[in-house]
Amino acid sequence: MNRDGVRKSLWQEEIKNIPASININGTYDVAIIGGGITGISTAYRLQRSGVECILIEAFNIGFGTTGGTTAHLNNFYDTTYAEAISKFGLSNSKLLARSAKEAMEIIEANINDNRIDCDLLERSAHLFALDDQQKKKLEEMMEGSEKVGHVMIPIEETSYPIPFTKAVEIPGQGQFHPIKYISGLSRSFLNSGGTIVENCRCNSHSEEDDLIVLKTSRGVIKAKSVVYATHIPPGISRLHFTNSPYRSYAMAFTLRNGRYPEEVGYDLTDPYHYYRVHEINGEKLLIAGGEDHKTGHADDTGECFSMLENYVREYFDVDLVKYSWSSQYYEPVDGLPYIGKLPGTKNIFTGTGFRGNGMMFGTLSSKVISDLILSGSSEYERLFDPSRVDPIAGLTEFVKENISVVSDFIKDKLFVEKIASLSEVSDGEGRVVKYDGESYAVYKESKGRVHLLKSTCPHAKCEVRWNGAELSWDCPCHGSRFGIDGKVLTAPSVKDLIKVNEKNI
Ligand SMILES: Cc1cc2nc3c(=O)[nH]c(=O)nc-3n(C[C@H](O)[C@H](O)[C@H](O)COP(=O)(O)OP(=O)(O)OC[C@H]3O[C@@H](n4cnc5c(N)ncnc54)[C@H](O)[C@@H]3O)c2cc1C
């Protein structure tokens, strides 16, 4: 497995072994933890500025969401400019619009400077409202966009065979192959003298005098600054209460009639569907995504694929489903990402809460964090401050999300099914079962082998839930995920689920 789920994503073929180092050489200027777009972009940028960097990755480069993304490059975000203006004011929203432009420019410069062949294409986007409610939302979006100088052009036709009530074109968007991109950047990072260590998990950090000491699965690393590019930082901090984990589903189809849309596309349903085309080994594929839900909150994750497939089949002349996979993202409570200093630390930085825009925000993080490390300031540091508390922008959502987290704690105790014996778990099924006052995560392979784990997530003691689509145990509170063997797949947990000797129960 070289991604954090059992299903193969469209990009996975390209996850090849990066020529990683084996030795950890003690002390570095900056240690970057996490080998997705955020970590690689930041390591590359810092190393090129003359800073000695080490990047460590618990598995392999591209193991996390960057290996399960759909890699649209947008200069508009899931939080619309209209929403941003109402929550953060016009000048902050203009800065937000500039951040998207800047992220796009960084990606282009990285590709050009390093001659990375990663299928970069400029594309227009088509945004289409499917009913009157969505039409109203689109009109609000257009007003907000105009105020921040973001171009949306009303159109009468789209290249999508989906009936709409109103549609706009947004020129100057893009798409690329995310793994080819970060592989290229990784190589340039290594060529500039950087160090990458794969299969190296960071288990803890402590700030001691002017150095941060990291305990990793492959030894101790010391660094003057640390960047948690782990999509969500480990430990328990306010960021675990201001971000909620969500799953999103993606599928890649061939079409019988060959009518692949030129533009990237989005409807305005909640959650929205997103579309684009990518050619892999000479074969065009329509990628469609959607059916998002809070992690651990869908009873049957396999059904999310069926719903997405049925929806796409309704409009497109689908021939074959070539790929289907799901992945995780984080919703920030007030709609903007958290990029900057990890709350409560001196020299530890992070980037999280990217929603479905992590190609852009992960890239932007490389600039914000590098600027903070190299010069102590960034023009974006206030807007994206991880320690911000904005009572107007975030309070309602904060309360809502935290009621959900708190009720997850409570519900989990009730949710645990009270069954008397393991025989009630069918082959190929995973379930949390109550046995003799304790809760266990039980997975029965189709040949009958039973995997038994304690079902309590080591991160914040919530009860994990079964994800049948990716064969993983997912924590509904903060999004940690574990394989059937209990091994941690997704942060924030750095510990595995406890394995239980079957004879003990
Ligand atoms: C289905 C889907 C589609 C999406 N589509 C788009 C899109 O079209 N456009 C867009 O802009 N965004 C999109 N996003 C969002 C975007 O993909 C993510 O925000 C982005 O990939 C996050 O990158 P990252 O580097 O921050 O995290 P990741 O890619 O998750 O990388 C984090 C890495 O840290 C490692 N790690 C974690 N803990 C530790 C530890 N303790 N020690 C060492 N290593 C550790 C992990 O193994 C992982 O490899 C999508 C998200 C989803 C789920």
Domain ranges of the chain: 119-173+242-326, 414-504
Residue 1: pLDDT above 80?
no
Query: Cα(230) to centroid of ligand 1, in Å?
Result: 7
Per-residue pLDDT at 346 = 95
248 CA from centroid of ligand 1 (Å): 12
Report for 71-80, 383-392, 445-454: range of highest mean pLDDT: 71-80
What is the CB-side half-sphere exposure of residue 49 using CA atoms within 13 A? Answer: 18
Q: Give 438's pLDDT tier (boundaries 50, 70, 90).
A: confident
According to DSSP, the β-strands at 243-255 and 219-228 are: unpaired
229 Cα: distance to centroid of ligand 1 (angstroms): 9
Question: Can you tell me the mean pLDDT for 228-248?
Answer: 95
Please list the helix, strand and coil fractions of the chain in percent, rounded to the nearest 5, in that order.
Answer: 30, 30, 40
- For domain 119-173+242-326, the CATH superfamily is D-Amino Acid Oxidase, subunit A, domain 2 (3.30.9.10)
User: Is 34 near ligand 1, meaning CB less than 6 Å away?
Assistant: yes
The CA–CA distances, whole Å, from 86 to 74, 89, 137, 335 equal: 21, 6, 14, 11
Tokens standing for residue 205: 């950090």
Maximum alpha-carbon separation in the chain: 67
174 lines ligand 1 (CB under 6 A): no
The helix-helix angle for 90-114 and 178-191 (nearest 10°) equals 70
Q: What pLDDT, on a 0 to 100 scale, did the predictor assign at position 420?
A: 37
pLDDT at 180 over 80: yes
Give 414-504's CATH code, choosing from 1.10.3860.10, 2.102.10.10, 3.40.50.2300, 3.40.50.150.
2.102.10.10
Q: Decide: 356 in ligand 1 pocket, CB within 6 A.
A: yes
State the DSSP string of 14-61.
G-----------SEEEEEEE--SHHHHHHHHHHHHTT--EEEE-SS-T
Beta 264-267 vs 121-129: how paired, if at all?
A: parallel
pLDDT for 348-406, tens place per residue? 999 999 999 999 999 999 999 999 999 999 999 999 999 997 644 444 554 455 545 54
Looking at residue 338, its amino acid is Y
Q: Is the CB of 469 under 6 A from ligand 1?
A: no
Question: Sign of torsion, CA 150 154 159 165?
Answer: positive
pLDDT of 410 reads 40
Query: What is the rounded CA–CA span in Å between residue 175 and residue 178?
Result: 9
pLDDT band at 470 (very low <50, low <70, confident <90, very high): very high
- Give the strands of the sheet with 472-474, arranged side by side: 465-467, 472-474, 481-482, 488-490
Atom nearest to 492 CA in ligand 1: 38
Residue 354 CB–ligand 1 contact under 6 Å: yes
pLDDT-derived band at 194 (thresholds 50, 70, 90) equals: very high
Q: Which residues are CB-neighbours of 162 under 8 A, at least 6 positions away?
A: 128, 130, 267, 315
More confident position, 421 or 459: 459
Query: How much is the mean pLDDT over the chain?
Result: 91
